[in-house]
Amino acid sequence: MPKRILMRATLAAFLLALFLVPSAGAYHLEGGRWPANTVRYYNEVPAYTWAVDTAAYAWNSSGARVQFVKSSRRDADVLLGIRWFKVAGEARIRRFNGRIVGARVGIRNGQDRYVMALVTAHELGHVLGLDHEDGVCATMNSRLDVDHPSQCPAPPPGMWACRLLRVDDVRGAVSLYGGTVRPIRGPEFCPR
């Protein structure tokens, strides 16, 4: 009989430990999700085309049930363009009567296309409803250290951080839009 009680106590302790372990996701959410799973965007600066499309593709292929789709300026939910400020980028969500009705994403001029892709992926994360996360390596880290999120490893010389999204970013988007966090394939860094 004492052996059975010991086994039950061990099983109960194991199950309790499973429930007390913090979740693997450290992401933070910011003010609600986009009202639809499709977000139409228009890029106001043709020189940014590669960076914007690369960032949109990263989110579209992440496993979260959300799609960024190019559109005309007139039909766009999100306008992306140059803004003159000191921070790398900024997303301003427009609301009307408490509902999200659009957004403007600004990227500081003068960055190379690789940094612009990373900044755009970060700002599109804000559009989706993600907030800054500084506890783990994430595209949503609040600071960019030259060419990589502050909590992520720096790329070696001549390389760029081509893994635009991290597991934590995708977990946050999946929590809002559904889907499945897909395994991140491919290298973390790519030649420039």
Beta bridge partners of 179: 64
- What pLDDT was estimated at residue 105? 82
| SS3 per residue for 145-183 | ECCEECCCCCCCCCEECCCCCCHHHHHHHHHHHCECCCC
Instruction: Report percent pLDDT > 90 for the chain.
Output: 56
90 sits in the region (left: phi over 0; alpha: psi -120 to 50; else beta) called: beta
Q: pTM of the prediction? A: 0.81
Q: What are phi and psi of 172, to 5 degrees?
A: -65, -45
User: Identity (one letter) of the amino acid at 155?
Assistant: P
Q: How confident is the model at residue 11 (pLDDT cuts 50, 70, 90)?
A: very low
- What pLDDT was estimated at residue 83? 67
Each residue's pLDDT tens digit, 85-107: 556 677 777 776 777 777 778 77
CA torsion sign, 110 to 112 to 113 to 114?
Answer: negative
Residue pair 80/54 in contact (Cβ under 8 Å)? The answer is no
Which of 7-11, 75-79, 90-94, 144-148 shows the lowest mean pLDDT across its residues? 7-11
Closest CA to 30 of 166, 176, 185, 188: 176
Q: Which residue has the higher pLDDT, 30 or 73?
A: 73
Domains and CATH numbers, the chain: 24-191 (3.40.390.10)
Which of 91-95, 146-150, 165-169 shows the lowest mean pLDDT across its residues? 91-95
Which of 82-86, 115-119, 177-181 shows the lowest mean pLDDT across its residues? 82-86
Each residue's pLDDT tens digit, 25-51: 567 777 678 889 999 999 998 888 999
